[in-house]
Amino acid sequence: MSALESHKNPPGDFTPSIPPPDPNTKTPKFKLPHNATDAHCHIFGPGDKYPFAPDRSYTPPDSGLAKFAALQAKLGLTRAVIVNASCHGNDNTVCLDAIAQSGGRYRAVANIDDTFSEKAIEELHNGGIRGCRFNFVAHLGGVPDMKVFHSVVDKIKNFGWSLDVHFDAIDLPEYAPMLAKLPVIYTIDHMGRVKASDGLQQKPFECLVNLIKDDEKCWVKVCGSERVSSTGYPFHDAVPFARQICELAPDRIIWGTDWPHPNVKQMPNDGDLVDLIPLFAPEPELQQKLLVTNPGRLYFDEK
């Protein structure tokens, strides 16, 4: 039985196949700046209102808008960019509804394919969507249909959207030439999911560094320290990677919690993740760019 088959639920059964987030969010020691943005987070369900895709590779626990809003208040976050996860398929309603209730504080990254017309994409744009995502990671289905990928890229460039790409680190060198040729801004999730134990000189991280240096369209999400870490909590072995990325491209970095942390090896506490920020971005000016200015430019139509 494949990993995909093992996580399939009967129709109407939303029993989670992955753990929930830590419910005891710590109040971070680091005080976030005004308008700080969680630029990578998810809203899951509730499943009876926002059904999960029949072919999903995992079933998440309900982690709806009310729980996320409470998390933001606890951490001191103001804005958010919700990334529609693969378990919701190409139904972006959960994101659109959250944006509609946010009073202008939320944007989202959608899941779409080549069946979406320009009119449909325009409707998503009017609803607050500012990008779309493609997963290349093995446990989420692997490489997408590249004909569909390029068709979607060709459509979204007319709306000024960015492209969110999620890779396993080992695959990044293979796709780097393709990324460099893209006609749109692209954001690489979770620092490319590099393995901290492989060091700063590992080929996937060197590839990421070269993309950052050579391609002004390359942005990086300096988050997912719990995914990058090889030693586990408190995930400090991920800090040197995040620090180097911040130094290389201070105007092309964003940060997010990745709440509610689907498919992680060790469930983090979001307060601890916030407290990593001053370790890799100690300068107030850099913190402002990472948390406010850069996501404002990329997602909130700010200059």
Catalytic residues: 258
Q: 191 — alpha (psi -120 to 50), left (phi > 0) or beta?
A: left
DSSP state of 140: G
Look at residues 78, 86, 81, 77 and name the one whose alpha carbon lies nearest to residue 98.
81
Amino acid at residue number 129: I
Element housing 38 (H / E): strand 37-41
Token reading at 5: 């088959």
The answer to whether 136 touches 144, Cβ cutoff 8 Å, is yes
Say how far apart CA 71 and CA 10 lie, in whole Å: 31
Spatial neighbors of 254 by CB under 8 A, at least 6 apart, are 37, 39, 40, 81, 187, 219, 220, 221, 222, 290, 294, 295, 298
Say how far apart CA 124 and CA 173 lie, in whole Å: 32
Residue 201 burial by CB count (10 A; 0-12/13-18/19+): exposed, middle or buried?
Answer: exposed
Say how far apart CA 133 and CA 194 lie, in whole Å: 19
Element housing 204 (H / E): helix 203-214
Element housing 73 (H / E): helix 65-75
The answer to whether 45 touches 85, Cβ cutoff 8 Å, is no
